[in-house]
Amino acid sequence: MFLAALGMTVISDSQRPDIRFADPTILEISTEDFMAAITEIPVTLSKDEILRYSRHLIMPEVGMEGQRKLKAARVLCIGTGGLGSPLALYLAAAGVGTLGLVDFDVVDYTNLQRQIIHSTADVGRKKLDSAADKLTAINPFLNLQKFDLRLSSENALELFRDFDIIADGTDNFPTRYLVNDACVLTGKPNVYGSIFRFEGQASVFATKDGPCYRCLYPEPPPPGLVPSCAEGGVLGILPGLVGVMQATEVIKLILGAGEPLIGRLLLIDALGMKFRELKLRKNPDCPVCGTHPTVTKLIDYNEFCGIRGEEKPVGAGLPEIQVEELKRRLDAKEDLFVLDVREPHEYQICNIGGHLIPLNDLPNRIHELDSSREIVVHCKMGGRSAKAVAFLQQSGFAKVHNLAGGITAWSERVDPNVPKY
């Protein structure tokens, strides 16, 4: 043990005790339980590691003991996008021993504005490979585990079992509920961060005595309410801010230091640079973490969130027109009215001269349209315009078509001078 403290031995995986299920009869393990377990792990630091982490080691709040806890810890990051980028980078730099990454996506050019773990040369590569390069370059001592898969009800529980803390950097409601429920069912803390435009939220859910995501939001936005494409977008630095907060919470949980965001929801307003805090309570009637849970295994989260399968896209069954056909008919000076239902700021990026009425304004501005004329509706990719076509049909317009693929298809197949965004 003395030698170990000097960092003279390295422990192998087979020697490492299982800190999650020290007592296999305990299904729910609190942060305190596993932090206590981490304390007892005879993980040691090499001379190189001692030098690398010296700024941690000279702080009494971390010290050798804390740094060994970090090395013993196993953290699973769901997603290596906006939130996952800073999160994984800082956890790797800080010396978290085992980092799991779950992602199946490929780096896209539009990711680079905020997903700082990926660089321009990585466009087209798997995010997992791109992230792995950066993380191991920062810290070669890192045990990195890549999971090239879509998190699902079938694989989440098994995946989570091998980790101590789950950091949720996902982008949609079904996966949020899936991560939450799987965390509750496996007894793993869920370090939560979420962003929208200029706003962020952060909390720590699913600890033994703390609330879970469902205590805060028992239900997702119900079916019948549709996602507004125009409402997307995010300030590039915001996921950085929130992802670093998640990293901070992960490290505090491992160290057992400070006051974690358990039972508190931090609201971040980047425009006002204001931080507010709301109290969260564990709901005794919570369907998953309450006293009489009704959700005792993972469910179909797309169904729960009212999202129908991809087999029935929004535009199914609506009259469509292809971009080549529109081009031909416009060139032939046919009487066609082109309606653009995107937002004004999108119109400024590029347009094909259509009459602009944003989708959400359409009900109030329908009088601007002449139902006797033939109307072609477009948006960016065809989703919003499909809703507009359906709405116009319900309102008595007989000659409306949806431009398949939107202005993006126009850019790809008709006029490459129209920028894609």
Partner 1 sequence: MLRPMSKIHIPTPLRQYVDKQSTVEVKCSTVGEAMSALVAKHPDLRRHLYTEEGKLRAFVNLYVNDEDIRYLQKEATAVKEGDNISIVPSIAGGAENALSPCHPERSEGSWFLLVVPD
Which residues are known to be catalytic?
229, 379
Shortest CB 230 distance to partner 1, Å: 9
Biggest CA pair distance of the chain: 88
Shortest distance, CB of residue 269 to partner 1, whole angstroms? 8
C-alpha distance from residue 193 to each of 134, 240, 261, 268, 366 (Å): 22, 11, 11, 10, 39
Nearest-10 Cα torsion for 153, 155, 156, 158: 130
The answer to whether residues 113 and 236 touch, using CB atoms and an 8 Å cutoff, is yes
Question: Does residue 384 bind partner 1 (CB under 8 A)?
Answer: yes
Establish if 150 lies at the interface with partner 1 (CB under 8 A).
Answer: yes
Our CB check for partner 1 shows the closer of 46 and 201 to be 201
C-beta separation of 270 from 215 below 8 A: no
Burial class (CB in 10 A: 0-12, 13-18, 19+), 92: buried
Our CB check for partner 1 shows the closer of 140 and 284 to be 284
CA distance 377 to 160: 45
Total residues binding partner 1 (CB under 8 A): 81
CB of 142 to partner 1, least distance (A): 20
Kindly state the smallest distance separating residue 192's Cβ from partner 1, in Å: 10
**Tokens describing residue 114:** 């905020």
Kindly state whether residue 45 participates in binding partner 1, applying the rule CB under 8 A: no
Residue closer to partner 1, measured from CB, 140 or 363: 363
Residue type, 183: C
Provide, rounded to whole angstroms, the least separation between the CB of residue 38 and partner 1: 27
User: Contact between 48 and partner 1 (CB under 8 A)?
Assistant: no
268, 369, 382, 401: which one binds partner 1 (CB under 8 A): 382
Q: Does 354 bind partner 1 (CB under 8 A)?
A: no
400's tokens: 């409306």
How is residue 235 written in tokens?
């300030």
User: 362-366: long-range contacts (C-beta < 8 A, 24 or more apart)?
Assistant: 362/388, 362/391, 362/392, 363/391, 366/392, 366/395
Is residue 209 involved in binding partner 1 (CB under 8 A)?
Answer: no
Positive/negative CA dihedral, 57, 60, 61, 64? positive
Choose, by CB under 8 A, the member of 49, 164, 168, 249 that binds partner 1.
168
Q: Which is nearer to partner 1, 319 or 363 (CB)?
A: 363
The reply to whether 365 sits near partner 1 by the rule CB under 8 A is no
In which element (H, E) is residue 376 found? strand 374-378
**What string marks each residue from 315 to 344 as x (binds partner 1 by CB under 8 A) or -?**
------------------------------
Which of 167, 376 has the CB closer to partner 1?
Answer: 167
CB of 271 to partner 1, least distance (A): 8
Would you tell me how many other CB atoms lie within 10 Å of the CB of residue 295?
A: 18
Can you tell me which of 6, 32, 209, 232 binds partner 1, judged by CB under 8 A? 232
Q: Which of 136, 228, 351, 393 is in the footprint of partner 1 by CB under 8 A? A: 228
Tokens coding 302: 């797309």
CA 167 to centroid of chain Cα atoms: 10
For tokens 């894609």, name the residue. Answer: 420
Q: Is 151 in the site for partner 1 (CB under 8 A)?
A: yes
Q: Which tokens in the block code for residue 375? A: 């109307």
CB atoms within 10 A of CB 27: 10
33 binds partner 1, rule: CB under 8 A: no
By CB under 8 A, the residues from 59 to 88 that bind partner 1 are 78-84
Least Cβ distance, residue 66 to partner 1 (angstroms): 28
Nearest to 230 by CA among 327, 332, 52, 349: 349
Chain residues 269-308 in contact with partner 1, contact rule CB under 8 A = 269, 271-272, 276-281, 301-302, 307
Closest to partner 1 by CB, 53 vs 160, is 160
> Token digits for 213?
């995501």
Q: Is 160 in the site for partner 1 (CB under 8 A)?
A: no
Q: What are phi and psi of 380, to 5 degrees?
A: -80, -50
Structure tokens at 350: 């590029």
| C-alpha closest to that of 267 among 171, 360, 172, 196 | 196
Among 194, 203, 207, 402, which residue interacts with partner 1 (rule: CB under 8 A)? 194
233 part of the interface to partner 1, by CB under 8 A? yes
Question: Does 387 contact partner 1 by CB under 8 A?
Answer: yes
Is residue 379 within the footprint of partner 1 (CB under 8 A)?
yes
Please, which of residues 101-120 interact with partner 1 by CB under 8 A?
102-105, 108, 110-111, 115
- Estimate to the nearest angstrom the gap between the alpha carbon of 392 and the chain centroid: 34
